[in-house]
Chain A
């Protein structure tokens, strides 16, 4: 036990030292705390509003809230599975301290448990961060008292341990079993596996059932279906069952489900520890062998040359270097799998939307949904940008001296990072909005408005991420996936979501105006220029501020590194 504590000590000592010796950095921390509280309050408020609305639906309220809880927990489970796979691979096979640790007389068991704990903490904090206000909203809306929160406190740790153990186990088996001794191939399989898991988990949830009561034939049958999980074999469903008892005061087999959850949470780490004890060192050796060598891809080289030819030579050199290091660092590009899964699930949502069954005029509803889609696309873009654009400066790492001593300005460096990230993000954003609008069959003016807004939002989001990334650079890291989970990563996420919120609010007025006109008069929802132009100009002004301010602050911060 003591050696586990010792092995974990660098983790918490680093955290403690960073926290206590922050010097002048207290002010941004208070700011972050304030932002976090505002963010939590926002989530709490939204979930509470949704739950209160559900409650107003006669008899169906608890069932709808239960289904929402299932979907939330299932989403968390899929996020945790993916995140744990990546984190376990980093912690067990790629971390820079492994050489040091494995050369010390530490038992395999202590090493394993210390790494599992680190994996759980690294991969689960985001879920914890988001889940707390959600559970708080459930507790207050359904007046379930202290017992619900106590159940949350005992269910959540078990809920986090299970996907972590599965992630560690799968990573071990993949590294051990794959004949191909290359980390990039292993990650390819991990990505593929995660993608399938996320896809199937999503399909298991069958979210479209919620809006298709007629498919159940009879109301009682529908109600019964609404009160049972669609996939009873998943830990998310067991957790929902345990929490449903104090929440909705309904008789569930709470003890049984808790025992099920606890037994898996205890059993899986144990099995994984046996497997790890048996195969870890062989797998680790293979992972070392795989670091050697490289295949040269002429096509990639030519494509890079062609793609970057519009840029001036220095900017081009920086961009080519960044693309190459990205493509060759499997811990970075493997995150693209998450992105692909995200896009497919995202677009699928629009495919199954039963807009034709709504009592609202279809054209009005389509405009409203398409508008809401802008906020969602912005959120997706933020999540992706925090993963890829925010670490752009930090990834220079300990090699930053090369750029510092080269005859280039820091401004050139930041702009190269901005352009490099902007182009793929812009393609992603425009594609998301274009395809979802196509599925929604929105009118052409809405398509144009959406595409223009996403163009502006992507500029803003990318600049925020690159700028805040320069404001809070993290040049020392064990693996790239750590960077977005840093203090700066959280600030970046909050600021870019605030930016999207502001942009959406500015455009909400004309959309509201059009929706009201459509509802009241049943008239045309094609807007005049005077309705759209002011808000588009507003978003343009906001975007300019969102580009200039963070880049300036980031530049100043990089200049301050010289102090």
Chain B
């Protein structure tokens, strides 16, 4: 469902993402793990067509993001780490706007909005301007917007930033339920607990390169350790290059 082929992105000659090859299957929750500045957000931005790759290709549902951007984006939802949204629209209007951009038919859109607002406990606030929302509410609204068109792929960048434990629990449940329904979830995070708890497979990226990829068992094998948890595996695999990037 998601395929990255030799994906490379350079900034002023520096490789933020370096020859990344990756495939994620339908219904899979894939954790994309890495220290700060490893290239997670850059990869995601290239995947979503916000950035152009220096070389390589991204396929979402078989569509080449560079050549068929509209088709690729139509089947994808995106939740960024910092949810900047139009402050002067109400929550309801924002969702209507995003739904229309995705060409969701109006009756279905109205029904879908109500369903999502209820599910994410925003129904009471739907007519308030976004500027009066708390960080968590904005985050939840962005989640609603990303699901408005029932995407086949959901790309999530740091999903738990600023969320309270209840919100975090709901997000994890959401990823599981989406996966059960066949949606592919690509989850970028540096929260090892989240990755360990919900992901079917995990890829570890460092300095733009994928240094490990597989199920938990695969990662234990790669790290040559049979005990501990993902945190110790992660530290083991990234120990030689533990300094931060940009």
Interface residues of A (CB under 8 A from B): 291-294, 296, 313-314, 316-318, 320-321, 324-325, 328-329, 397-399, 401-409, 562-563
Which residues of the partner chain A approach B73 to less than 8 Å between Cβ atoms? Answer: 405-407
Which residues of the partner chain B approach A401 to less than 8 Å between Cβ atoms? Answer: 50, 78, 80, 84
A562 to chain B, nearest CB (A): 4
Q: How far is B86's CA from A563's CA once the two chains are assembled, in angstroms?
A: 25
Whether the Cβ atoms of A408 and B101 lie closer than 8 Å is: yes
Given contacts A321-B89, A562-B52, A563-B52, contact A328 B129 (CB under 8 A): yes
Q: How far is B87's CA from A329's CA once the two chains are assembled, in angstroms?
A: 9
Give chain B interface residues in 133-161, CB to chain A under 8 Å. Answer: 145
Q: Is B100 located at the chain interface by the 8 A CB criterion? A: yes
Q: Interface code B66-81, partner A: CB below 8 Å = 1, 0 otherwise?
A: 0001110110101010
Whether the Cβ atoms of A294 and B93 lie closer than 8 Å is: no
B103 to chain A, nearest CB (A): 7
Question: Which B residue's beta carbon lies closest to that of A326?
Answer: B88
Q: Which of B89, B101, B128 contacts A325 (CB 8 A)?
A: B89
Q: Is B131 located at the chain interface by the 8 A CB criterion? A: yes
Q: Is B235 located at the chain interface by the 8 A CB criterion? A: no
B6 to chain A, nearest CB (A): 18
Q: Which of B70, B78, B86, B127 contacts A321 (CB 8 A)?
A: B86
Given contacts A313-B100, A314-B100, A406-B98, contact A294 B90 (CB under 8 A): yes
Q: How far is B128's CA from A328's CA once the two chains are assembled, in angstroms?
A: 12
Report 15 cross-chain contacts, Cβ distance below 8 Å, ordered by A residue: A291-B132, A314-B101, A314-B103, A318-B101, A320-B97, A324-B93, A328-B88, A328-B89, A397-B84, A405-B50, A405-B78, A407-B74, A408-B70, A562-B49, A562-B52
Question: Which B residue's beta carbon lies closest to that of A403?
Answer: B101
Q: How far is B132's CA from A293's CA once the two chains are assembled, in angstroms?
A: 7
Which residues of the partner chain A approach B101 to less than 8 Å between Cβ atoms? Answer: 314, 317-318, 402-403, 406-408
Q: Which of A316, A329, A407, A562 contacts B102 (CB 8 A)?
A: A407
Q: How far is B25's CA from A98's CA once the two chains are assembled, in angstroms?
A: 47
A520 to chain B, nearest CB (A): 60
Which residues of the partner chain A approach B70 to less than 8 Å between Cβ atoms? Answer: 407-409
Whether the Cβ atoms of A405 and B86 lie closer than 8 Å is: no
Q: Is B48 located at the chain interface by the 8 A CB criterion? A: yes
Q: Is B85 located at the chain interface by the 8 A CB criterion? A: yes
Which residues of the partner chain A approach B100 to less than 8 Å between Cβ atoms? Answer: 313-314, 316-317
Which residues of the partner chain A approach B84 to less than 8 Å between Cβ atoms? Answer: 397-399, 401
Which residues of the partner chain B approach A407 to less than 8 Å between Cβ atoms? Answer: 69-71, 73-74, 101-103
Give chain B interface residues in 95-136, CB to chain A under 8 Å. Answer: 96-98, 100-103, 127-129, 131-132
Q: Is B211 located at the chain interface by the 8 A CB criterion? A: no
Q: Which of A294, A313, A409 contacts B129 (CB 8 A)?
A: A294
Given contacts A325-B86, A398-B84, contact A405 B76 (CB under 8 A): yes
Q: Interface code B28-62, partner A: CB below 8 Å = 1, 0 otherwise?
A: 00000000000000000000111110000000000
A409 to chain B, nearest CB (A): 7
Whether the Cβ atoms of A324 and B127 lie closer than 8 Å is: no
Which residues of the partner chain A approach B96 to less than 8 Å between Cβ atoms? Answer: 317
Starting from the known contacts A317-B100, A321-B97, 7 additional A-B residue pairs (CB-CB under 8 Å) come to: A291-B132, A321-B93, A324-B88, A324-B89, A325-B88, A402-B85, A409-B69
Q: How far is B109's CA from A43's CA once the two chains are assembled, in angstroms?
A: 55
Which residues of the partner chain A approach B85 to less than 8 Å between Cβ atoms? Answer: 399, 402
A303 to chain B, nearest CB (A): 15
Q: How far is B129's CA from A329's CA once the two chains are assembled, in angstroms?
A: 11
Which residues of the partner chain A approach B131 to less than 8 Å between Cβ atoms? Answer: 291
Q: How far is B97's CA from A321's CA once the two chains are assembled, in angstroms?
A: 7
Question: Which B residue's beta carbon lies closest to that of A410?
Answer: B69
Whether the Cβ atoms of B88 and A404 lie closer than 8 Å is: no
3 A-B pairs closest in CB distance: A317-B100, A398-B84, A562-B52
Q: How far is B73's CA from A397's CA once the two chains are assembled, in angstroms?
A: 20
Given contacts A291-B131, A314-B101, A405-B76, contact A399 B51 (CB under 8 A): no
Q: How far is B88's CA from A325's CA once the two chains are assembled, in angstroms?
A: 5
Q: How far is B198's CA from A359's CA once the two chains are assembled, in angstroms?
A: 89
A444 to chain B, nearest CB (A): 44
Whether the Cβ atoms of B86 and A406 lie closer than 8 Å is: no
Whether the Cβ atoms of A294 and B127 lie closer than 8 Å is: yes
A328 to chain B, nearest CB (A): 4
A558 to chain B, nearest CB (A): 11
Q: How far is B84's CA from A320's CA once the two chains are assembled, in angstroms?
A: 19
Which of B48, B71, B86, B97 gathers most chain A CB within 10 Å? B86
Which residues of the partner chain B approach A405 to less than 8 Å between Cβ atoms? Answer: 48-50, 73, 76, 78
Which residues of the partner chain B approach A328 to less than 8 Å between Cβ atoms? Answer: 88-89, 129
Whether the Cβ atoms of A317 and B97 lie closer than 8 Å is: yes
Whether the Cβ atoms of A406 and B50 lie closer than 8 Å is: no
Given contacts A313-B100, A325-B89, A328-B88, contact A562 B71 (CB under 8 A): no
Question: Which A residue's beta carbon lies closest to that of B149?
Answer: A407
Question: Which A residue's beta carbon lies closest to that of B96?
Answer: A317
Q: How far is B239's CA from A465's CA once the two chains are assembled, in angstroms?
A: 52
Whether the Cβ atoms of A329 and B88 lie closer than 8 Å is: yes
Q: How far is B128's CA from A293's CA once the two chains are assembled, in angstroms?
A: 6
Which residues of the partner chain B approach A313 to less than 8 Å between Cβ atoms? Answer: 100, 103
Which residues of the partner chain A approach B48 to less than 8 Å between Cβ atoms? Answer: 404-405
Question: Which B residue's beta carbon lies closest to that of A395?
Answer: B86
Which residues of the partner chain A approach B93 to less than 8 Å between Cβ atoms? Answer: 321, 324
Q: How far is B82's CA from A563's CA once the two chains are assembled, in angstroms?
A: 21
Which residues of the partner chain B approach A404 to less than 8 Å between Cβ atoms? Answer: 48-50
B149 to chain A, nearest CB (A): 9
Q: How far is B145's CA from A405's CA once the two chains are assembled, in angstroms?
A: 12
Q: How far is B80's CA from A292's CA once the two chains are assembled, in angstroms?
A: 26
Q: How far is B65's CA from A200's CA once the two chains are assembled, in angstroms?
A: 59
Q: How far is B70's CA from A401's CA once the two chains are assembled, in angstroms?
A: 14
Q: How far is B101's CA from A562's CA once the two chains are assembled, in angstroms?
A: 20
Q: How far is B96's CA from A318's CA once the two chains are assembled, in angstroms?
A: 11
Which residues of the partner chain A approach B90 to less than 8 Å between Cβ atoms? Answer: 294
Q: How far is B145's CA from A399's CA once the two chains are assembled, in angstroms?
A: 13
Q: How far is B131's CA from A292's CA once the two chains are assembled, in angstroms?
A: 8
Which residues of the partner chain A approach B50 to less than 8 Å between Cβ atoms? Answer: 401, 404-405, 562
Which residues of the partner chain B approach A321 to less than 8 Å between Cβ atoms? Answer: 86, 89, 93, 97
Which residues of the partner chain A approach B71 to less than 8 Å between Cβ atoms? Answer: 407
Which residues of the partner chain A approach B129 to less than 8 Å between Cβ atoms? Answer: 293-294, 328
Q: How far is B49's CA from A462's CA once the two chains are assembled, in angstroms?
A: 28
Which residues of the partner chain B approach A562 to less than 8 Å between Cβ atoms? Answer: 49-52
Q: How far is B49's CA from A562's CA once the two chains are assembled, in angstroms?
A: 8
Question: Which A residue's beta carbon lies closest to that of B46?
Answer: A562
Which residues of the partner chain B approach A294 to less than 8 Å between Cβ atoms? Answer: 90, 127-129
